[in-house]
Every structure is written in C-alpha cells, then in structure tokens.
Amino acid sequence: MIMLESHHPRQHVAGELEAYAQLVNAGSCIVASDGMRDLCDVPGGKPEWVTGNPARAAIEFAGRHPEFELRQPTWQPNASRLEKNVTYWRDAWLWRK
C-alpha cells in the first residue's frame, strides 16, 4: 500500500500516481488521500479545489490505467446503513487488479 499525503494539487498527485504505480502489486493499492473538492466552500477553502484535487487525479489515473480500479475497501464492521464513505477519501482507493 502506498499513501499519498504530501502535496495535494491535482497535477502533483497525478505525477505521484504515475511514479509509484509500478511499485504496487496486484491486490494492493495507492491511496490518493484528501477530499479537498468537498471543502472548497468552507472557511479557508479555495474555489480551485473543485477540480484541482487528489480525487480528480485518481479518477483520471484510473481512466488511463485499466490495471487499476477505483474501489473503496469493505467497511469492517459497519453498524450503519451507509454503503459508501462520505468523508475525505471516497475516490482515493486505486487497487491494482
């Protein structure tokens, strides 16, 4: 598993994904953490976070790399009725097939 948590602009994360992808074995993942797009309109947020964020980089990466898929890990345990993560990293988990 590789966690990307250094610098969050989309282009920077895109470069990290390309650089580290070859190090990820089948069944493991890269996590492009941070959900800045969801925080663009809060105090301290920035309008450019709507598109300039790690999630966008991960979605674009998955579109170019069919050997990876965007998939959240299974919640263990999940005592709620939620079926999908609603916090920061819902489009962050890139699993190597």
Domain boundaries, the chain: 2-96
pLDDT band at 58 (very low <50, low <70, confident <90, very high): very high
Q: Which two tokens stand for residue 61?
A: 């990466």
Across residues 81-89, what is the average pLDDT?
Answer: 69
pLDDT at residue number 87: 62
Residue among 19, 92, 97 nearest 57 (CA):
92
C-beta atoms surrounding 32 within 10 Å: 29
14 pLDDT exceeds 90? yes
33 pLDDT exceeds 80? yes
Across residues 63-83, what is the average pLDDT?
Answer: 84
Residue among 25, 23, 19, 13 nearest 89 (CA):
13
> Looking up tokens 């009725």, which residue turns up?
81
CA distance to 8, 11, 14, 42, 61, per residue, from 30 (Å): 14, 16, 12, 27, 11
